[in-house]
């Protein structure tokens, strides 16, 4: 084809006639396929090997009644080197090269070689074909999953009845859990396949003792297959279990090949092939076939073992980074579900974070991708959210800090790996205040929350989406939702509503339907949502939180406006004492009066003219002092000669927690005390 490029019609005709004569004399099959997939030329050997019709030239290769994989290879024009293809009763080795690599016309040239006549395992052609077929099927049929047990079952099922009447796979326990086998005295029966189900062999799951005289033990020690052509005469094999071996002989099993399941120097277990119905015992040629069969399967089992180990490590890491239990708080009734993907682990996470003033933050996030990197990145982001939430930041400011962190993670990885990976993460952060029933939400590229009103109606509130984390340069926006008591806020990751086969809008409508039919409790809501999911294999993690709102009743809230006058401190102390008596918290009177005295005094001295005091009777007694100053006090040790500096020290000593949070009007200094 390359030589005909640029020639005239007469020259091309002569060129084709010349090459046609040469190609028909070649003992290998030769095919020339044009760029559009039409067969331009096939020599006599190719016609014979592929059983092509006489008018094959000029037709598309997909229309020549060839096997699908062979026709697909010829139509694709891709590079192939000694690919084995089965065409009727032949095994063909196919080589293919494109013709346009150096500027030639589009198309490809393929050569075919009949490898059916190879006699690697037997002198007879029919037996060789059967054994090559078995090895070919083992190559494509063993290791279809990264599950150790399933891979062992595929080996046993493939061997029966084509090679043996019964096949068993016994592995060390460490292999099943993904570990590296060490010195052990027992194996575990992992797979068993046979022409009948009543054979007196060890059942799947049973432990099998390793006896030095047994063929399996000898094979593991030597690293070679062990043949026992006549089991009735094999005293070493019978010594392993006298009663069971007698039952096996009586059943009619008379010959055995035991092959160690080995990858390099690592022995994973052993495979045993048993013969009963066929009267001839196994021979040396069949030992070679058994070794080849087990060698191919051993690679797949070891790959599954390595995957199991890495998957177990990733799952362990992921679970250690997710919340073990939810913190105690009274603002929300919460139920949650976490469903990991069936393949790999992801970076979905969620959190419930108690904040000052009886408020609670809800977080749900998703790191793009799967594996250890996604799980580790998720842990870093979750820890960062914990730390940022302790600063009592508004949701939009917290997401801005998280955005900078993801950008730094990407930058660090780019410097280390030399490329520019993008971590990719989304997050939704919501803060609910049970005093005002106000929920402030911001999201960074995350799916919108769903809201179930007390009457059962469902809506998706309008919360600005914001860019995903790590992009930078764009601010995040918040939305304020006033929630009636008993409303349910539903937060989730995209695995719940997105799928490769459907649009996210369809997933959101399915979620809405499920929420409309859900029961009133958060647990009922979670169950209804997950039950409504299609039964397809989960390809992504799912994190789901349902939070039903509570409100702090007015009888548990006390508030006072305080003038900026030091004389007002005594009035505050008196009012506090009376309120604590109404709440039956007289035991906290002294410490509460002292805490508020110090906080109000500081506010009068440094905080401006407008001062507001609030006490909340929740799981703890919360004292808050609001002022219009943005200056934050600092805890310090006062010197002996200092006139002040001891107030916050007393507050810190008398309360469980204290801190400062900023508001648009100024700041709040708060302190919490445990209830008696």
Residues 6+ positions from 466 with CB-CB distance below 8 Å: 399, 442, 443, 444, 445, 474, 476, 477
Answer yes or no: do 545 and 567 share one domain: no
pLDDT at 9 over 50: no
Q: Quote the pLDDT of residue 119.
A: 41
Lowest mean pLDDT among 107-111, 410-414, 460-464, 573-577: 410-414
For tokens 């914001």, the residue is 466
Residues 585 and 559 in one domain: yes
Please give the residue that has the higher pLDDT: either 97 or 239. 97
Q: Give the per-residue pLDDT at 636.
A: 57
Statement to judge: residues 456 and 602 lie in one domain:
no
What average pLDDT does the segment 659-669 reach?
Answer: 89
Span 316-328, mean pLDDT?
80
CATH code of the domain in which 592 resides: 3.30.565.10
Mean pLDDT for 138-142 is: 86
Q: Are strands 542-549 and 332-339 parallel, antiparallel or unpaired?
A: antiparallel
The answer to whether residue 647 scores a pLDDT higher than 90 is: no
pLDDT at 585: 94
The pLDDT-based confidence of 13 (bands split at 50, 70, 90) is very low
Is the predicted pLDDT of residue 641 greater than 50, yes or no?
Answer: no
pLDDT at 254 over 80: yes
Residue 3 lies in a domain: no
pLDDT at position 235? 81
Q: Is residue 449, in this structure, part of any structural domain at all?
A: yes
Is 1 inside a domain boundary? Answer: no
Q: Kindly report the average pLDDT of the chain as a whole number.
A: 86
**Distance from C-alpha of 191 to C-alpha of 148, rounded to nearest angstrom:** 10
Residue 318 in domain: no
pLDDT given for residue 344 in this prediction: 62
- 464, 507 Cβ separation under 8 angstroms: no
Residues 373 and 504 in one domain: yes
Please answer whether residues 629 and 589 qualify as being in contact, where contact means their C-beta atoms are separated by less than 8 angstroms: no
Greater model confidence, 616 or 641: 616
How far apart are alpha carbons 289 and 455 in whole angstroms?
71
Of 549, 577, 596, which one is at a domain's C-terminal end? 549
**84 & 165 share domain:** no
316 located within any domain: no
Q: Say what the pLDDT of residue 18 is.
A: 52
Average pLDDT over residues 136-156: 89
Q: How many domains is the chain built from?
A: 4
Global model pTM greater than 0.85: no
Domain boundary among 549, 564, 584: 549
Residue 317 lies in a domain: no
pLDDT for the residue 122: 38
Across-strand partners of 338? 543
Distances in whole angstroms, Cα of residue 665 to Cα of each of 430, 434, 626, 629, 630: 21, 20, 9, 8, 9
DSSP state for residue 60 in the 8-state scheme: B
Helices first, then strands: H and E counts in the chain: 17, 26
Tell me if 2 is assigned to some domain.
no
- Which residue matches tokens 């997939």? 37
Task: Estimate the crossing angle of helix 148-159 against helix 284-321, to 10 degrees.
Answer: 160
pLDDT at site 200: 93
Looking at the fold, whether 110 and 131 belong to one and the same domain comes out as no
Q: What is the pLDDT of residue 123?
A: 46
In this predicted model, which residue has the larger pLDDT, 189 or 89?
A: 189
Tokens 């054979």 belong to: 199
Q: Do 586 and 510 fall into the same domain?
A: no
pLDDT of residue 645: 54
Residue range 537-551, pLDDT digits in tens = 566 788 999 999 999
- pLDDT category at 345 given cuts 50, 70, 90 is low
pLDDT at 626: 93
Residue 15, pLDDT > 50, answer no
pLDDT of residue 125: 56
pLDDT band at 19 (very low <50, low <70, confident <90, very high): low
From 57-66, 278-287, 337-346, the region with the lowest mean pLDDT: 337-346
Question: Same structural domain for residues 475 and 581?
Answer: no
Q: Tell me: pLDDT of 644 over 60.
A: no
**Token duo for residue 541:** 């993690």
Structure-token match 């000694």, residue found: 82
pLDDT at 242 over 60: yes
- Assess whether 476 and 593 both reside in one domain: no
Cβ–Cβ < 8 Å for 169, 261: yes
Burial of 640 (0-12, 13-18, 19+ CB in 10 A): exposed
Residue where a domain stops, chosen among 70, 93, 114? 114
Count of residues for the chain?
A: 676
Determine which of 182-191, 307-316, 358-367 has the lowest per-residue pLDDT on average. 307-316
Q: Which band of pLDDT confidence, cut at 50, 70 and 90, is reported for residue 72? A: very high
Task: Write the CATH number for 197.
Answer: 3.30.450.40
What per-residue confidence (pLDDT) applies to 334?
96
> Could you tell me which of 389, 381, 375 has the C-alpha nearest to residue 405?
381
What is the span of the domain harbouring residue 625?
Answer: 554-674
- Asked whether 470 and 400 are in contact (CB, 8 A), the reply is no
pLDDT tens figures, 379-402:
889 999 999 999 899 999 999 999
Interacting residues of 573 by C-beta distance below 8 A, sequence separation 6+: 593, 596, 597
Any domain includes 480: yes
CB atoms within 10 A of CB 258: 26
- Order of strands across the sheet that contains 657-663: 557-562, 611-617, 620-627, 666-674, 657-663
Co-location of 100 and 223 in the same domain: no
> pLDDT digits over 606-634, tens only?
777 789 999 999 999 999 999 988 777 66
DSSP assigned state of 594: H
643 band by pLDDT with thresholds 50, 70 and 90: very low
Average confidence (pLDDT) over 321-335: 89
Q: Supply the CATH number for residue 379's domain.
A: 3.60.40.10
Can you give the pLDDT at residue 414? 65
Do 619 and 328 form a contact (C-beta atoms < 8 A)?
Answer: yes
- Determine the distance from the C-alpha atom of residue 49 to the mean position of all C-alpha atoms in its chain, rounded to a whole number: 46
CATH (domain of 22): 3.30.450.20
Q: What are the tokens at 669?
A: 């200094």
565 and 667 housed in the same domain: yes
What's the rounded mean pLDDT across residues 192-203?
A: 93
Q: What percent of the chain is modeled with pLDDT above 90?
A: 53
For residues 352 and 434, membership in a common domain is answered with yes
């Amino acid at each position: 084809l390359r030589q005909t490029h640029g020639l005239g019609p007469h020259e091309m005709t002569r060129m084709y006639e010349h090459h046609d004569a040469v190609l028909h004399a070649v003992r290998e099959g030769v095919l020339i396929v044009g760029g559009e997939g039409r067969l331009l030329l096939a020599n006599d050997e190719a016609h014979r090997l592929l059983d092509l019709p006489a008018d094959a030239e000029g037709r598309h290769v997909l229309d020549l009644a060839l096997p699908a994989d062979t026709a697909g290879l010829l139509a694709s024009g891709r590079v192939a080197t000694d690919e084995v293809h089965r065409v009727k009763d032949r095994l063909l080795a196919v080589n293919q090269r494109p013709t346009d690599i150096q500027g030639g016309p589009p198309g490809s040239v393929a050569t075919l070689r009949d490898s059916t006549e190879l006699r690697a395992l037997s002198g007879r052609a029919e037996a060789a074909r059967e054994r090559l077929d078995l090895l070919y099927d083992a190559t494509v049929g063993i290791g279809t999953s990264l599950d150790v047990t399933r891979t062992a079952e595929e080996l046993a099922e493939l061997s029966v009845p084509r090679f043996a009447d019964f096949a068993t796979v016994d592995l060390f326990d460490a292999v099943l859990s993904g570990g590296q086998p060490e010195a052990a005295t027992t194996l575990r029966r992992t797979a068993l396949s046979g022409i009948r189900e009543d054979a007196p062999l060890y059942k799947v799951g049973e432990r099998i003792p390793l006896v030095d005289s047994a063929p399996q033990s000898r094979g593991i020690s030597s690293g070679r297959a062990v043949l026992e052509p006549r089991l009735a005469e094999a005293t070493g094999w019978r010594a392993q279990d006298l009663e069971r071996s007698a039952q096996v002989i009586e059943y009619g099993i008379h010959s055995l090949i035991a092959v160690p399941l080995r990858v390099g120097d690592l022995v994973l277990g052993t495979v045993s092939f048993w013969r009963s119905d066929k009267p001839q015992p196994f021979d040396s040629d069949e030992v070679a076939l058994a070794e080849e069969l087990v060698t191919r399967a051993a690679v797949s089992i070891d790959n599954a073992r390595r995957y199991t180990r890495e998957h177990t490590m990733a799952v362990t890491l992921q679970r250690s980074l997710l919340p073990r239990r939810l913190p105690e708080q009274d603002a929300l009734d919460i139920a949650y579900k976490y469903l990991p993907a069936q393949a790999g682990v992801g970076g979905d996470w969620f959190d419930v974070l108690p904040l000052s003033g009886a408020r609670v933050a809800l977080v749900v996030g998703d790191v793009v991708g799967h594996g250890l990197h996604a799980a580790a990145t998720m842990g870093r982001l979750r820890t960062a959210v914990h730390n940022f939430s302790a600063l009592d930041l508004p949701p939009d400011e917290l997401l801005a800090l998280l955005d900078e962190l993801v950008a730094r993670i990407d930058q660090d990885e780019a410097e280390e790996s030399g490329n520019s990976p993008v971590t990719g993460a989304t997050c939704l952060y919501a803060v609910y205040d049970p005093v005002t029933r106000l929920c402030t939400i911001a999201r960074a590229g995350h799916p919108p929350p769903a809201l179930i009103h007390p009457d059962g109606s469902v809506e998706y509130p309008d919360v600005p989406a914001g860019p995903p984390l790590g992009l930078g340069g764009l601010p995040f926006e918040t939305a304020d939702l006033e929630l009636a008591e008993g409303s349910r806020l539903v937060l989730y990751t995209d695995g719940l509503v997105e799928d490769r086969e459907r649009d996210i809008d369809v997933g959101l409508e399915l979620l809405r339907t499920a929420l409309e039919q859900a029961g009133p409790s958060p647990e009922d809501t979670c169950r209804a949502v997950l039950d409504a999911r299609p039964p397809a294999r989960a390809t992504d993690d799912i994190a789901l939180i349902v939070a039903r709102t509570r409100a702090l009743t007015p009888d548990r809230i006390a508030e006072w406006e305080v003038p900026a006058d030091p004389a007002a401190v005594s009035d505050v102390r008196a009012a506090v004492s009376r309120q604590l008596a109404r709440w039956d918290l007289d035991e906290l009177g002294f410490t509460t009066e002292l805490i508020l005295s110090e906080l109000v005094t500081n506010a009068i001295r440094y905080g401006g003219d407008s001062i507001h005091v609030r006490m909340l009777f929740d799981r703890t007694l919360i004292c808050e002092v609001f002022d219009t100053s943005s200056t934050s006090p600092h805890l310090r040790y006062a010197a002996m000669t200092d006139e002040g500096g001891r107030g916050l020290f007393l507050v810190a000593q008398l309360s469980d927690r204290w801190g400062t949070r900023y508001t648009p009007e100024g700041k709040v200094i708060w302190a919490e005390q445990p209830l008696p």
